[in-house]
Structure 1
Amino acid sequence: MKTAYIVKGYRTAVGKAPKGVFRFKRPDDLAAETIEHMMKQLPDFDRSRIDDVMVGNAMPEAEQGLNMGRLVSLMGLKSEEVPGVTVNRYCASGIETIAMASAKIQSGMADCIIAGGAESMSYIPMGGYKPVPNYETAKAGNESYYWGMGLTAEAVAEKYKISSKDQNEFAYHSHQKAIKAQKENRFQDQIVPIEVEDIFVDSKGKRQSKTYTVDKDQGPRADTSEQVLNKLRPVFAEGGSVTAGNSSQMSDGAAFVMVMSEEMVKELNLEPVARLVSYATVGVEPRIMGIGPVKAIPKALDQAGLKLNDIELIELNEAFASQSLAVARELDINQDILNVNGGAIALGHPLGCTGAKLSVQIFDEMKKRQLKNKYAMVTMCVGTGQGAAGIYEVF
């Protein structure tokens, strides 16, 4: 079996949806500009040698439809020769493409693939514009297949006895870690500056526009506190504990990596960033979908022949504080290595982008900590009852 390496990886900043910095920026443009930036770091590379562009996306319709993967390939590479495909595993879509790219290269079916994800929750609402659940399936007692994610977070909080106080404390620390990371410029090396044209109507009713560059995540709030979070009302269930403050933010963003065969890496004299050691997906009860990583993480560790204490850093997507705490407690995860720069509650969760975004983040953080030839993990719960976990060796 061949070896597949990740040689480059970048992400955009993450904007808040639906009225954030990327509200006028299409997701295909975000993706294309991220890929363009990555290719500028390889100025002499023959783009026709790229075998595919894989774009993860959770709501592939409207501005994210028409096989966005192929359109992003055309737009980002300025070449008609490279194909493209769109991949949907909801919140794990971005890392799913990295796993698919790695597997194809390991099997000898490709030598170079660009993989990642993009999502605009400003353009496309959660669930898409026309969600149509199967009535007969729901009628048969399977209505939880179609539950909103907030209800599943409440179910997890109830089942695993996660208090409102603990959820809000977790959310507060997510913001504090993210603010600290921004002050220390821990994200800047990984973020692609994106130019945005902001269109608005002035006080005289005239159309105006201004152009600026976005290179900083919009979500972290320095002004939040546990007291403020404790005052927020539950939004998904009467008498519940899940609030807007202890849930992930709706977001816009894109992130991509270049995956390459060992032979091509040596030919081009490139330095690998990381390799995907293992990747596992699992199914769990849809009503408690947030617990997915509890099953996915042991499966990925078993594939890799590793133990949890072999992992130096973990990025666990903070879909909700309730599910993040439930996962951490069930697996006894060391809090000192978990989401060290904050998570999705502070930094945002652009659905199909998130798996790739967290991968880029963890590569960069491992490098900054000089953890060479060590292992890192990216994991998340996935809508309709799934979990995913990927383990990387980072160089």
Structure 2
Amino acid sequence: MRDAVIVATARTPVGKRNGGLSGVHPVDLGSFALNALAVDPALVDDVIFGCVSQSGEQSWNVGRNVVLAAGWPVTIPGTTLDRQCGSSQQAIHFAAASVVAGHADLIVAGGVEAMSRVPMGSSAGTAQPYGPLVRARFAAEEGFDAEAQIPFSQGVGAEMIASRWGFTRSQLDEYALASHEKAAAASFADEITPVAGVSADEGIRRDTTLAALGALKTPFKQDGVVTAGSASQISDGAAAVAVTTSSFAAEHGLTPLARIHTAVVAADDPVIMLTAPIPATFKALQRSGLSIDDIGVYEVNEAFAPVPLAWLASTGARADRLNPRGGAIALGHPLGATGARLMTSMLHYQRDNGIRYGLQTMCEGGGMANATILELL
């Protein structure tokens, strides 16, 4: 039977908004991730890249363009997909499915987002991407703004989660502070390829305090609990992984690092939007035959602090295994790249700590979530 294994990973640093990577064109940024992979481009059948804001510099199939910018053979195709924040995680899922099915032998999957240069939501322009039928369907739901160009709000969804699970402002601020502290204590040097003089993730605030976080405003709800401090950072970055089969790896001298054990996608209410990692996790566990306790590390994307906290409360997972080196609150969230960045970081953590199974999941616009279980080899 054909399987799907990861034989190489690479990522750029995650640059803060208007920071050290803001001067790098997103196509060039993606090409750095490709060229950092320890894989012969001549073996690559396809490149699948995630990108959310596919406009301006990220338009016209950025996945194909990063291949050309990397100097790889022009015979290597590339494509671009959008499953919102989970785009590059979905790219990895598609790559795994393709090699298992025999449609390809080796695919590079990843993503890029240069949010300093192509602002979030810019792909919509002045259009209303949700038509009359969607607006009519959800018009009566709390949190849905039928008059807005974009009637679904992630920030409002985060406030709704905090209310439903009963999280306080202090709980969210404490979680955010812990994210920065864990990231500051960790080392990511062995997984990062320096770009434009930037060699480390720029978003980590080593001097932040609960007092500083407590002084921030709550922009999504008057007297709310979610702030910029308990939300992921607007960022720039790219990441990529090489996916093949065990047999192809053996034939070409490649070392499998991890097996893509289970890959699923799920969806939930698009108004609250951010709860789908919970059913996605249960779906992945059911299909894998594993229990939550079998998983040694969980990477649950920190789009907003209520997301991993609600996931933790709902799954019964161990808190000490959740985002052990911090998450997007500290490291940043370059939308289309984050899925592959998380997988790169999780795999390195599994390897360094001898952890057999790791689970990654992340909330996505539209109320969706991918979940992936990696098995260390």
- Range of TM-score over shorter length: over 0.9
Distance across 1 between alignment mates of 2:89 and 2:131: 32
Residue 133 of structure 2 corresponds to residue 137 of structure 1: yes
Residue 360 of structure 2 corresponds to residue 378 of structure 1: yes
Distance across 1 between alignment mates of 2:347 and 2:134: 42
Distance across 2 between alignment mates of 1:90 and 1:134: 15
Give the equivalent residue in structure 2 for 1:345. 329
Distance across 1 between alignment mates of 2:307 and 2:346: 21
Give the equivalent residue in structure 1 for 2:209. 225
User: By how many angstroms is 1:260 displaced?
Assistant: 1.3
Give 1:368's match in structure 2, choosing from 319, 333, 352.
352
User: By how many angstroms is 1:226 displaced?
Assistant: 1.1
User: By how many angstroms is 1:141 displaced?
Assistant: 4.6
Distance across 2 between alignment mates of 1:97 and 1:32: 16
Give 2:159's match in structure 1, choosing from 138, 154, 159.
154
**Counterpart contact for 1:117–1:256, Cα < 8 Å:** yes
Give 2:168's match in structure 1, choosing from 152, 157, 163.
163
Residue 300 of structure 2 corresponds to residue 306 of structure 1: no
- How do 1:248-259 residues align onto structure 2 when only pairs under 5 Å count? 248-259=232-243
* Matched AA of 1:29: D
**Counterpart contact for 1:376–1:392, Cα < 8 Å:** yes
Residue 150 of structure 2 corresponds to residue 188 of structure 1: no
User: By how many angstroms is 1:104 displaced?
Assistant: 0.4
**Counterpart contact for 1:34–1:256, Cα < 8 Å:** yes
Distance across 1 between alignment mates of 2:23 and 2:300: 29
* Matched AA of 1:393: E
- How do 1:208-247 residues align onto structure 2 when only pairs under 5 Å count? 213-247=197-231
Give the equivalent residue in structure 2 for 1:32. 31
* Matched AA of 1:347: L
Cα deviation code 1:12-71 (max 9, x no counterpart) = 110112x11111111111110111121xx34xx3x3331100001111111111011111
- How do 1:1-395 residues align onto structure 2 when only pairs under 5 Å count? 1-17=1-17, 19-38=18-37, 41-42=38-39, 45=40, 47-129=41-123, 130=125, 131-137=127-133, 139-143=135-139, 144=144, 146-181=151-186, 186-195=187-196, 213-371=197-355, 374-395=356-377
User: By how many angstroms is 1:138 displaced?
Assistant: 5.4
* Matched AA of 2:136: A
Cα deviation code 1:142-170 (max 9, x no counterpart) = 25373221111111111111111100000
**Counterpart contact for 1:48–1:81, Cα < 8 Å:** no
User: Taking structure 2 as the reference length, what is the TM-score of the superposition?
Assistant: 0.94
Relative to structure 1, the CA distance from residue 110 to residue 138 in structure 2 (aligned partners, 3 Å threshold; closer, same or farther) is closer
* Matched AA of 2:32: E
Three-state SS of the structure 1 residue aligned to 2:49 is: strand
Q: Which has the higher strand share?
A: 1
Distance across 2 between alignment mates of 1:346 and 1:271: 32
Give the equivalent residue in structure 2 for 1:206. none
User: By how many angstroms is 1:73 displaced?
Assistant: 1.5
Judge which range, 306-315 or 139-148, deviates more.
139-148
Relative to structure 1, the CA distance from residue 8 to residue 135 in structure 2 (aligned partners, 3 Å threshold; closer, same or farther) is closer
* Matched AA of 1:303: R
Three-state SS of the structure 1 residue aligned to 2:296 is: strand
Three-state SS of the structure 2 residue aligned to 1:290 is: coil
Relative to structure 1, the CA distance from residue 237 to residue 266 in structure 2 (aligned partners, 3 Å threshold; closer, same or farther) is same
User: By how many angstroms is 1:263 displaced?
Assistant: 2.1
**Counterpart contact for 1:146–1:384, Cα < 8 Å:** no
**Counterpart contact for 2:152–2:271, Cα < 8 Å:** yes
Distance across 1 between alignment mates of 2:135 and 2:108: 42
User: By how many angstroms is 1:275 displaced?
Assistant: 1.4
**Counterpart contact for 1:35–1:77, Cα < 8 Å:** no
Three-state SS of the structure 2 residue aligned to 1:24 is: coil
**Counterpart contact for 1:94–1:356, Cα < 8 Å:** yes
Distance across 2 between alignment mates of 1:95 and 1:139: 29
User: By how many angstroms is 1:313 displaced?
Assistant: 0.7
Three-state SS of the structure 2 residue aligned to 1:269 is: coil
Point out where structure 1 has 5 or more consecutive residues left out of the alignment: 196-212
**Counterpart contact for 2:277–2:362, Cα < 8 Å:** yes
Give the equivalent residue in structure 2 for 1:209. none
**Counterpart contact for 1:378–1:390, Cα < 8 Å:** yes
Give the equivalent residue in structure 2 for 1:205. none
Judge which range, 264-273 or 313-322, deviates more.
264-273
Distance across 2 between alignment mates of 1:109 and 1:214: 37
Q: What is the root-mean-square deviation of aligned Cα atoms in Å?
A: 1.4
Three-state SS of the structure 2 residue aligned to 1:242 is: coil
Distance across 2 between alignment mates of 1:235 and 1:7: 43
User: By how many angstroms is 1:139 displaced?
Assistant: 4.4
Give the equivalent residue in structure 1 for 2:147. none
**Counterpart contact for 1:104–1:110, Cα < 8 Å:** yes
* Matched AA of 1:148: S
User: By how many angstroms is 1:370 displaced?
Assistant: 2.7
**Counterpart contact for 1:93–1:355, Cα < 8 Å:** yes
Point out where structure 2 has 5 or more consecutive residues left out of the alignment: 145-149
Give the equivalent residue in structure 2 for 1:210. none
Distance across 2 between alignment mates of 1:4 and 1:171: 35
